[in-house]
Amino acid sequence: MERYVKISKKDFYKWVDSLKKHGKVYAPKRKENTHVFRPIKDSSELDLNYISTILPPKKYYFPQKESLLKFSIKPFETAKAIQKFEEFVLFGVHTCDLAGIQCMDVVFREDPLDPNYINRKDRMTTVGIECLKPCDKHASCVSMGNHVPRGGYDIMLTEIKGSYIIHLNSQKGEDILQGHSYIKKCTQADRNLLDSLRKNKERVFKEEFIGQLTEVYTVFSKLSESGVWDDVGKRCVGCGNCTTVCPTCYCFDVKDELDLNLNDGLRYRWWNSCQMDDFARVAGGEDFRPGRVSRQRHRYYRKFKYPIDKFNRYFCTGCGRCSRTCMAKINLTETVNDLIKEHRNVSIGI
């Protein structure tokens, strides 16, 4: 198959309906005034005109609560909790969330490999969709470089003039496109349209941060002590919304749950967050990160400093969810810009 193909909007929904033979289809669906990823029965439930879902699609490859192993005490035995992982199609993923998937990949594929994540991820076919206009004031995808496709998908859809241009990125992507006569080759004219669309995007999408990422990194290296953190920490209510909705937050806690026979049980993991009061508390009662100032700072450092040192990758995707969901108006773009401003002022001696 060609690397670029296209499908007319008239045939598009027919094709979406055909996807269920490749597994359950999870796609953005309307929920009250917002959207959520949900299994869809057919294309009528799909709504691609969305800003961002409440939770990122990470819930499908890193579920909120996930069984790890079954055990019994007498006789002492353990067994896999999940025997079979299902194939599924993750449909209509924005480029920011695709960046999130790539971040998770880096983390969970690091030694020791995370078998549950990999089992799910290997059975996932990802269909991306390109945003044509900036979504809202909360996103910072341009500064993070994620307003354009940068991989992490099996196919990418870009809507142009009554059609979707499809970029094919993998064998899995080819599998879901094959056998449909209405999926056509792209002409040179189509490719030119795609090029000019991307050029136009450079004009429409504006950088949200007042400095380049290199400067952001430098600022984070220098300003671990700053009034900006005091302000953010003071406003934080500690609800944990920011980390729950973050596409790159991957912390979890592991718990054992006994059956009522008090002999068999299940070990599971569930999402946990550095924003929780007890997160860094250890035996003996010592808390390594007391207070909301240090906890909020830590969250930012896990996006703009530590993962760059460790994986050479920013762990903010620019999706804007943390700012959108924050109860206390803590805004990621504002925080980063305030830090940059403070650093510039310090540098020139104000």
Partner 1 sequence: MKNKKPKFAFFDFTDCEGCQLQIVNLNTVLVELLEHIEIVNFREATSERRNDYDVAVVEGSVSTPHDIERLVKIRRQAKTIVALGACATIGGVNAVKNLNPPGIAQHRVYGDKGKNFETLPVKPIDCFIKVDYYIQGCPVHLNEVAEVFKCILAGKKYDMPNYPVCMECKMNENVCLYQKGQDCLGPVTRAGCGSWCINNNNICYSCRGLVDNPAVDAQRDILDKYGLKLDEMLAKFSLYSACGGEKYDQEIKKR
Contacting residues toward partner 1, per CB under 8 A = 31-34, 36, 54-55, 64-65, 234-241, 244-245, 257-258, 260-262, 271, 273, 276-278, 292, 325, 327-329
Nearer to partner 1, 38 or 184 (CB): 38
Nearer to partner 1, 33 or 312 (CB): 33
**CA atoms of 232 and 100, how far apart (whole Å):** 24
Q: Taking the complex as a whole, how short is the minimal distance between the CB of residue 221 and partner 1, in angstroms?
A: 28
CA angle, corner 244, sides to 52 and 172, nearest 5? 60
Nearer to partner 1, 28 or 211 (CB): 28
Nearer to partner 1, 159 or 264 (CB): 264
The residue assigned the tokens 């900036």 is: 134
Nearer to partner 1, 50 or 314 (CB): 50
**CA atoms of 175 and 173, how far apart (whole Å):** 5
Query: Is residue 125 within 8 Å of 72, Cβ to Cβ?
Result: no
**CA atoms of 254 and 245, how far apart (whole Å):** 20
Token output for 217: 């990194």
Nearer to partner 1, 172 or 321 (CB): 321
**CA atoms of 131 and 86, how far apart (whole Å):** 29
Q: Taking the complex as a whole, how short is the minimal distance between the CB of residue 212 and partner 1, in angstroms?
A: 31
Q: Taking the complex as a whole, how short is the minimal distance between the CB of residue 75 and partner 1, in angstroms?
A: 18
Q: Taking the complex as a whole, how short is the minimal distance between the CB of residue 40 and partner 1, in angstroms?
A: 15
Q: Taking the complex as a whole, how short is the minimal distance between the CB of residue 347 and partner 1, in angstroms?
A: 31
**CA atoms of 183 and 6, how far apart (whole Å):** 6
| DSSP percent split of the chain into helix, strand, coil, nearest 5 | 35, 20, 40
Helix (H) or strand (E) holding 236: none
Q: Taking the complex as a whole, how short is the minimal distance between the CB of residue 293 and partner 1, in angstroms?
A: 11
